[in-house]
Amino acid sequence: MAKSAVSAYHGVMRYRTPAPTTLPMPAASLSKIIRLAAALACFLLPGGRARADAYDPPANYYNSATGTGATLKSQLHNIIDNHTVRSYDDLRSLLQVTDRDPNNPSRMILVYDRVSLDVSKIGSSIPGWDNGVSWNREHTWPRARGVDSSGPDNSDLHQLRPSTNSVNSDRGNLNFGGAFGQPYGQVFDKGATVWYPGDADAGMIARQEFYMAVRYDGSDGSTEDLELYNGNPSTSQGLGDLARLIEWNYQAIPDQFERYRNQTVYGYQKNRNPFIDHPEFVWSVFVNQNNDSQLALAGGTAGAAGATTLDVDMGRVLVGAPTPGSQVITLNKSGSAGTYYEVTATGAATSSVTGRFNAFATGGSGSRNVTVGLNASTAAAGLITGTVAFDNLDITTGSGSGRGAQDGNDTANLALTVLDHARPSFDALAEVTTLSYDFGALAPGAAATSFQFDLYNLLGNAGYTAGLDLDQIDVLGDSGAFSLDIAPFMGSETLVGGGSRMFNATFDPLATGEFAAVYTFDFSDEDLPGAQDLGSLQLLLTAEVVAADNADFDDDGSVAGADLLAWQRGFGMAEGAARINGDANSDGAVTADDLGVWQTQFGAPSAPSASAANAAAVPEPAAITLAALLLAGAAVLPRRSRTSASQRSRRESHPKPAAKATCPAAPQAIY
């Protein structure tokens, strides 16, 4: 967890070193896990594509549109032909519905200038219509360019729009043209004066004219074969400029207003504009079969047929933490052709770009930033995944593998790792928070002895447990008597889930006395969102250093008869006895135990070492001298032995204080 550089506790400064870290992911391939999750998360309609909203066509409406080029044009004609024809007069009321202002149903949006006209204030025998004073009906495909005044094309709602009278007059019979990105009106383009419909209408106008060129082939009575041409065709030829209409189709995608209008007209005429439902059909029907567009995710791994895969690591958090923020990825388009693409988010993935009405313009490469993220709870540990897939919707195959219809899907695989909190323990199988170790009784000057202990980070959910940080170590008691080879660890040294580390505690018996120290280890989760303090583990160490038994009571360098006499004089002392009084084992009393030490050491040339004092070997005393000294003390031994036993019982029920310094009032931080 996040740690300050220095913090105070009980008046003692604690030093911490913050450092970020990254735990290794589980061994399983992240991308494989994500792809599996994505495969299970996709709910599709027949044909593999989900129906997005109420403006989509019926699921089987375009089932027969399976070809490309001229074949597709003919198939689409057959689908939308023979529509229910509404009279030209009907449009006085119907256009108020089809072109209703989405922000105010009492108003109507006029073509080109995009005026929102309040039709509720226009009163006559036909509500909203005042005989063309406030607005009139614009033939986007002019009558002068092939629309007969008595045929179904004259009143086809898919091509007629409400218009301001003066704007309609300004347009006249001009061909469409002009580069995208300028105000509506007459413009000079490619050597001719043409009409630019304005950015808000450019794409919609283009798709209306594509509809007219497919719907009317001259087979209906009072109609002509309507065709689109590049450049500035004459009124007798047809309508232009096809090249600009192609550009606008990819520069201005169908918006909600246009799609609502298509759905509403469908309700009146029982036919749809296929180039609103499927603007990707435009290239194949009106350009060629060689769309060279290819999509790719920046930074992704290239696969077969132009596909790319990008793994997006959304990070690692602890259970209960907020879901991390979104990330931005970039979708690139290469090739000169324009194309539409579909974006589908599955699993827990979210995307700022969705659906199938997304496009790259013609004329060269392009790129688009897409914000992706995950929308899921972090209440449980595990891997949260989702995918955002990008599908090039072009239907042409002439440019070969990796281009147009043969461009493989590009997929962003998102993953968020949610971790259980770390669990510190002294045991590998269970949560053990305290550990005690007694080094036992040692002789002064004996070799230092060590005790090994382990720290564990117990697994919660296998593979999804946070790393364990040791933030600081406090010690209470005889800290100078013991040493540990453990220090705070974090950052790159964090203890991974399921991991353990071995440490050593050492005691060096330099001075006599009883020693004890309590070490408190404070832990937290690794530095990740949602990290917490995890409490402490405590290690209790104890040891005792005792002097070696010594029966040389008169300190003359040997254990002899004079020492027996010293023992006799002190025999029976229950407390406060010293070695000069006959206390050979340093227990503060002179008892038969001290006589046993004298017997063992009798005849030694000097005071024994600590190892010699504890040895089992018994020196061979001079037989006569030993017997005499033993007989001299035999008369008092039984009586004093009973007294000694009574005194010893009292002493054991009131043990003397340990020979050590008192503990400090507050713990001492050693790290």
pLDDT, tens digit, 9 for 90 and up, residues 130-185: 999 999 999 999 999 999 989 999 999 999 999 999 999 999 999 999 999 999 99
Asked which of 246-255, 330-339, 485-494, 555-564 is least confident by mean pLDDT, the reply is 555-564
Token pair for 152: 């179904």
The span from the CA of 509 to the CA of 486, in Å, is 21
pLDDT band (50, 70, 90) for residue 580: very high
At 93, the amino acid letter reads S
pLDDT at 342: 98
Share of the chain above pLDDT 70, in %: 82
* Cα–Cα nearest to 293, from 334, 340, 331: 334
pLDDT at 2 over 90: no
**CA–CA separation, 185 and 25 (whole Å):** 60
* Between 134 and 625, residue with greater pLDDT: 134
Confidence of residue 502 (pLDDT cuts 50, 70, 90): very high
Q: Tokens at residue 4, please?
A: 């300050």
Distance CA 82, CA 78 (A): 8
Question: Which residues, 6 or more positions from 560, have their beta carbon under 8 angstroms from its beta carbon?
Answer: 602, 603
Q: List strand residue ranges (DSSP E) for 171-307, in order.
A: 185-189, 192-196, 294-297, 301-302
- For residue 570, which amino acid is it? G
Rounded Cα–Cα distance for residues 644 and 207 (Å):
117
Report pLDDT for 605.
61
Backbone angles phi, psi at 125, to 5 degrees: -65, -25
Q: Is the pLDDT of residue 669 over 90?
A: no
pLDDT score, position 19 = 34
* 470/212 Cα distance (integer angstroms): 75
Which pLDDT value is given to residue 251? Answer: 98
The full DSSP string for 65-98 is ----HHHHHHHHHHHH-SPPPPPTTTHHHHHHHH
Please state the rounded mean pLDDT for residues 281-288. Answer: 98
Query: CA–CA separation, 226 vs 228, rounded Å?
Result: 7
Check whether 34 has a pLDDT greater than 80.
Answer: no
pLDDT band for 329, please (50, 70, 90 cuts): very high
- Average pLDDT in the 433-454 region? 95
- Of 15-24, 379-388, 600-609, least confident by mean pLDDT is 15-24
Strands 308-318, 410-419: pairing is: parallel
**Residue 111 structure tokens:** 């073509």
Percentage of the chain surpassing pLDDT 90?
Answer: 74
Residue type, 504: N
- Tokens 């209008």 sit at which residue? 261
Pseudo-torsion of CA 109, 111, 112, 114, nearest 10°?
Answer: 0
3-state secondary structure of 204: helix
d(CA 92, CA 80): 23
pLDDT band at 52 (very low <50, low <70, confident <90, very high): low
d(CA 388, CA 369): 13
**pLDDT-wise least confident of 479-493, 511-525, 539-553:** 539-553
Say whether pLDDT at 42 is over 70.
no
Per-residue CA distances from 410 to 43, 146, 160, 332, 617 (Å): 19, 44, 39, 10, 86
Whole-structure pTM value: 0.74
E strand or H helix that includes residue 476: strand 468-477
- DSSP H or E stretch at residue 652: helix 637-653
Mean pLDDT, to the nearest integer, of 62-89? 97
pLDDT beyond 70 at 456: yes
Q: Taking residues 563-568, report their average pLDDT.
A: 91
What is the C-alpha separation between 66 and 562, in angstroms, rounded? 123
pLDDT digits (tens, 9 = 90+) for 294-324: 999 999 999 999 999 999 999 999 999 999 9
Q: State the average pLDDT over residues 120-135.
A: 93
- For residue 239, give the DSSP letter: B
pLDDT of residue 623: 35
Closest C-alpha to 511, from 369, 659, 328, 290: 659
The pLDDT assigned to 585 comes to 84
H or E element that contains 203: helix 199-215
**What pLDDT band is residue 612 in, cutting at 50, 70 and 90?**
very low
Q: Over the stretch 390-432, which tens digit does the pLDDT of each residue have?
A: 999 999 999 999 999 999 999 999 999 999 999 999 999 999 9
Q: What is the pLDDT of residue 124?
A: 83
Using 50, 70 and 90 to split pLDDT, how confident is the model at 33?
A: very low
Helices (H), 357-434: none
Whether residue 6 is predicted with pLDDT greater than 80 in this model: the reply is no
For residues 355 and 342, the answer to whether their CB atoms sit within 8 Å is: yes
| Cα radius of gyration rounded to whole Å, the chain | 48
Q: CA-to-CA distance for 421 and 316, rounded, in angstroms?
A: 12
Least confident of 50-59, 87-96, 124-133, 218-227: 50-59
User: What value does the mean pLDDT of the chain take?
Assistant: 85
